[in-house]
């Protein structure tokens, strides 16, 4: 009673000092009543009515329940423990032309770190020598190794593959990506969801109400039956079966498991409020460039007019663009298998580029330039309309066939290619009854083409960066799709930050800028669009677990307390039921660990 049971007295006493109540206070009062009655009976020589075993069994069962509960709760923090375990203790650093092994807390920014094959990368940094691959699955959920070479970024905590890497340190300790992820997950698990505030208010009056019910039970049974010993046991059963603990555990355990599981799959949720808001989202607004598309132009279509082959056209175009840093030039160079030697390469501002290849003058540039050169062919307008209807940017390759006679050889269509998974990711959102909108600064034709390809519910084009937040506000107030929408905004650039902040939930792609990530409530560590539907799905499942747990906790108390007050449960059964209640709530939350992502 006063050995293993001492913790109940300490906790109960602290609760009284704080002018509050808790489960331990109820257990302390209940078992003390049974124990005190037994001592009284023993002193009076009435050893046929002793209840020491009731007190002992109640304490034993409740302690067993607390142990099972702590074991179960420990599993809810496994995501944090797994992330923390990724931190290496030492790093091999090159200083003064010597390689020395240093504790990780002694490594500084700009230190040169040597990472051998198979080792865990100790710091965030940039590769300055070597080539390898990196297993980033624990941080991003990406199952395939990511190739790393010079100028590529590596993240501390990931595992180096088959090659030796020399890395210049860019961030250490608290500033590292891994530390920020751990901090974000811990913050999300520590903060209370709005629904928890309601539960807290109920819990605050729960213990005084139970004490009142126990007192009424004692008096009613005593007055009616004149058996005050039995009346006391019924009152003890009321005190013991009441379980504010189940109410207190219902929300935080589900949030801890939900955010932990999400983090393991590359979905970082900033706080519990974001998790709760996310489950109500019924519309997702996307930026286009870099979010729905890969973020850089690619040569996607080529219409050859003359006798040249597509490879010859590419080779000629690449020859004119050799050494250029223009995005369209890079798109051509990445496709070409070989170049010709070009002379007299001249860039014509606002028009394109011209050069001499094999004593022939070639031109690569805009329609306006072609018209100024009188380069035209029958049906050219139809070809242009066909490509521009898809939102393509068009360049023309032409050559001077004779003096004053320039002929067009090919039309080159460029587009910011839609991400491979985008269409199915949008379908996944529609399956969750979430409407999809695209907000883009791109022209209406290009935007409409992307919208049609992805079956988006609404396309809003030619939006200035500073106006995106206003459009989010309009979508929230209602539109032709839905009224009173809860809107999530997905973006990756600095220009998306105001819209991310204005939305009910901001979702930043992990491949984007730090500014976007700071403005967002949720960060996707991979640029995979499927994670958006996954984030909404895990939030809904987590919220469902919260509702299930709260229903069970209220139902248990609503049924158990009257049964105990009416004498249908003895104190030992009441203690067992109370322990089971807490364990069942935690166990139900742990079922979230079975959740799987779509990718």
Catalytic residues: 287
Cα separation of 301 and 517, whole Å? 35
Q: For residue 510, count CB atoms less than 10 angstroms from its CB and return exposed for 0-12, middle for 13-18, buried for 19 or more.
A: buried
Sheet arrangement for strand 487-491: 267-269, 522-524, 505-509, 487-491, 283-287, 435-439, 458-460
- HSE of 497, CA atoms in CB hemisphere, 13 A: 11
- Map 23-80 to HEC letters: HHHHHHHHHHHHHHHHHHHHHCCCCCCCCHHHHHHHHHHHHHHHHHHHHHHHHHCHHH
Q: Is the dihedral of CA 277, 280, 285, 289 positive or negative?
A: positive
Cα separation of 520 and 27, whole Å? 45
DSSP code string of 515-553: HHHHH-SEEESS--THHHHHHHHHHHHHHHHHHHHHHHH
DSSP code string of 319-355: HHHTT---HHHHHHHHH-S----EEEEEEETTTEEEE
For residues 134 and 161, is the Cβ–Cβ distance under 8 A? yes
For residues 376 and 249, is the Cβ–Cβ distance under 8 A? no
372 contact partners, CB below 8 Å, separation of at least 6: 351
What one-character DSSP code corresponds to residue 101? E
Q: For residue 48, count CB atoms less than 10 angstroms from its CB and return exposed for 0-12, middle for 13-18, buried for 19 or more.
A: exposed
Cα separation of 13 and 484, whole Å? 49
State both tokens at 501.
Answer: 């902040």
State both tokens at 417.
Answer: 């290619």
């Amino acid at each position: 009673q006063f050995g293993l049971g001492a913790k109940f007295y300490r906790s109960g006493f602290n609760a009284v000092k704080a002018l509050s109540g808790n489960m331990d206070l109820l257990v302390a009062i209940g078992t003390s009543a049974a124990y005190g009655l037994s001592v009284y009976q023993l002193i009076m020589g009435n050893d046929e009515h002793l209840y020491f075993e009731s007190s002992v069994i109640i304490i034993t069962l409740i302690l067993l329940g607390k142990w099972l509960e702590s074991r179960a709760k420990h599993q809810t923090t496994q995501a944090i423990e797994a992330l923390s375990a990724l931190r290496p203790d030492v790093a091999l650093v090159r200083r003064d032309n010597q390689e020395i092994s240093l504790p990780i807390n002694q490594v500084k920014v700009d230190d040169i770190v040597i990472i051998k094959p198979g080792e865990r990368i100790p710091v965030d940094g940039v590769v300055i020598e070597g080539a390898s691959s990196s297993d980033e699955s624990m941080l991003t959920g990406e199952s395939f190794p990511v190739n790393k070479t010079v100028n590529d970024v590596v993240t501390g905590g990931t595992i180096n593959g088959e090659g030796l890497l020399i890395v210049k340190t860019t961030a250490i300790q608290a500033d590292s990506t891994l530390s920020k992820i751990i901090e974000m997950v811990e913050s999300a698990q520590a903060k209370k969801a709005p629904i928890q505030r309601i539960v807290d208010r109920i819990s605050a009056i729960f213990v005084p109400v139970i004490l009142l019910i126990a007192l009424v039970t004692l008096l009613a049974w005593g007055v009616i039956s004149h058996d005050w010993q039995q009346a006391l046991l019924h009152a003890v059963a009321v005190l013991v079966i009441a379980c504010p603990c189940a109410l207190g555990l219902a929300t935080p355990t589900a949030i801890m498991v939900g955010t932990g599981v999400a983090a393991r799959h590359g979905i970082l949720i900033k706080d519990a409020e974001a998790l709760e808001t996310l489950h109500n989202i019924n519309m997702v607004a996307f930026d286009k460039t870099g979010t729905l598309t890969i973020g850089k132009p690619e040569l996607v279509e080529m219409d050859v007019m003359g006798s040249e082959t597509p490879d010859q056209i590419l080779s000629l175009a690449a020859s004119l663009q050799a050494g250029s840093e223009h995005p369209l030039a890079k798109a051509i160079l990445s496709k070409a298998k070989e170049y010709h030697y070009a002379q007299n390469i001249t860039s014509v501002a606002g028009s394109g580029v011209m050069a001499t290849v094999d004593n022939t003058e070639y031109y690569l540039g805009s329609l306006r330039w072609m018209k100024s050169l009188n380069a035209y062919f029958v049906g050219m307008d139809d070809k242009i309309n066909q490509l521009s209807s898809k939102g393509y940017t068009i360049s023309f390759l032409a050559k001077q066939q004779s003096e004053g006679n320039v002929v067009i050889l090919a039309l080159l269509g460029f587009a910011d290619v839609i991400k491979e998974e985008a269409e199915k990711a949008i379908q996944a959102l529609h399956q969750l009854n979430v409407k999809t909108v695209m907000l883009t600064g791109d022209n209406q034709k290009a935007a409409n083409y992307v919208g049609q390809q992805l079956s988006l519910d609404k396309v809003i084009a030619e939006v200035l960066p500073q106006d995106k937040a206003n459009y989010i506000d309009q979508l929230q107030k209602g539109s032709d799709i839905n009224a009173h929408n809860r809107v999530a905004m997905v973006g990756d650039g600095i220009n998306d930050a105001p819209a991310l902040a204005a939305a009910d939930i901001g979702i930043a792609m992990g491949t984007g800028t730090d500014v976007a990530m700071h403005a967002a409530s949720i960060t996707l560590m991979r640029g995979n669009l499927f994670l958006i539907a996954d984030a909404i799905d895990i939030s809904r499942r987590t919220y469902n677990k919260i509702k299930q747990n709260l229903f069970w906790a209220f139902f248990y108390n609503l049924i158990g307390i009257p049964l105990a007050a009416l004498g249908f449960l003895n104190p030992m059964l009441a203690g067992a039921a109370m322990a089971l209640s807490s364990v069942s709530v935690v166990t139900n939350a742990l079922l979230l660990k079975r959740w799987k992502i779509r990718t």
